[in-house]
Amino acid sequence: MNESIYKTPPTYAHVCEAIDYLKSEHADLKVFPIGRSVLGREICALSVGNPMNATLFVGATHGLEWLTTLLLLRFLEDVLEGLKTGGCVSEIDVRKALRNRSLVVVPCLNPDGVEIALTGAGSAGCKQAFIDGISGGNTNIWQANANGVDLNHNFDAGWCLLKEMEVKSGIDSPAPTRYGGPHAHSEPETMAMATFCMTYQPRTLYAMHSQGEEIYYRYGDKTPDRSQLMAQILASSSGYELSTPTGLASHGGLKDWFIEKFRRPGFTIEVGRGKNPLGLDQFDKIYNKIQEMLIIATLL
């Protein structure tokens, strides 16, 4: 276990180094690109087993919620260690658990947004002046990608309803958060995720966000019948509460699109409590609370 990975904020360079380390230590890990960000940063998927019909975990859709990247990398490392040594994760034998299961982790869907949130507009290169302009020089609140589009409002689910709500809220142009973009799937990060899902047909999706210790599992009448029981099991394991998003969070999300497109269970999991960004000092507490939930989620 390389604890140093989880004691450093997940800049793009650090995430690349962490992935290289995991590849060098674990033959069971497959790493492949699924696309690139607005600024050309590679978006990687990390697979244990066949990526087709796998359980999919996605982190850092929002820049400010970068802690989810580290949480997913830690979970993946625990799973890989269990496969290598015959060990357990939360008392679940990993080799037996994954005998007929596989998982894919996309630790950072929004690498540009994370970089901007962590290091400022200077990391956006040719977009620096644009980022400074729409953020007022304060990138501490940055959730969007480098185009000022909130990726979790950019998926094609209830798109027209969402745009009406945005207009009523005065959101009609690029911003640090909540602007859904000029049209659904306008962003390369959104398209990368949509293309991955259409190609590999995940059996279940878990989109990791922060904060609130909540689990969202519904999206209208397309929600699979078994989703509620699955959500109740996850909530029982973690102590998180089941909830329903409201307002601008009601449409356009990755979980929403996945449920509507595939009629398969999709979940948004809001980890931790406090004010974003949740800091490294909360990492151990949050991970210890959700580790069992994550391994159970892989099996459901």
Inside any domain, residue 164: no
Q: Which domain holds residue 25?
A: 3-116+186-299
Average pLDDT over residues 9-35: 97
Inside any domain, residue 255: yes
- What is the side-by-side order of every strand in the sheet holding 241-243? 29-36, 42-48, 103-106, 55-58, 204-210, 266-271, 214-216, 241-243
Burial of 201 (0-12, 13-18, 19+ CB in 10 A): middle
Q: What pLDDT does 249 receive?
A: 77
Long-range contacts of 238-243 (CB under 8 A, 24+ apart): 238/213, 238/289, 238/290, 238/292, 238/293, 239/213, 239/289, 240/213, 240/214, 240/215, 240/269, 240/270, 240/293, 241/213, 241/214, 241/215, 242/214, 242/215, 242/216, 242/217, 243/212, 243/214, 243/215, 243/216
Kindly report the CATH number assigned to the domain that includes residue 198.
3.40.630.10
Long-range contacts of 190-193 (CB under 8 A, 24+ apart): 190/151, 190/154, 190/155, 191/35, 192/34, 192/35, 192/36, 192/43, 192/109, 193/34, 193/35, 193/58, 193/106, 193/109, 193/254
Identify which of 21, 24, 23 has the alpha carbon closest to the alpha carbon of residue 6. 21
**57: pLDDT strictly greater than 90:** yes
Q: What pLDDT does 184 receive?
A: 97
Q: How many Cα atoms within 13 Å fall on the side-chain side of residue 34?
A: 29
Inside any domain, residue 176: no
Per residue in 136-159, pLDDT tens?
999 989 999 999 999 999 999 999
Q: What pLDDT does 1 receive?
A: 80
**Average pLDDT, whole number, for the chain?**
96
Cα–Cα dist 15/71, whole Å: 12
Between the two ends of the chain, the Cα-to-Cα distance in Å is: 26
Q: What pLDDT does 246 receive?
A: 81
Q: What pLDDT does 18 receive?
A: 97
**49: pLDDT strictly greater than 80:** yes
Inside any domain, residue 245: yes
Inside any domain, residue 133: no
Per residue in 72-123, pLDDT tens?
999 999 999 999 999 999 999 999 999 999 999 999 999 999 999 999 999 9
Inside any domain, residue 84: yes
Q: What pLDDT does 248 receive?
A: 74
Per residue in 236-265, pLDDT tens?
999 999 998 888 778 999 999 999 999 999
Counted domains in the chain: 1
Inside any domain, residue 129: no
Q: What pLDDT does 245 receive?
A: 84
Do the strands 29-36 and 42-48 form a parallel or antiparallel pair, or are they unpaired?
Answer: antiparallel
Inside any domain, residue 41: yes
**17: pLDDT strictly greater than 80:** yes
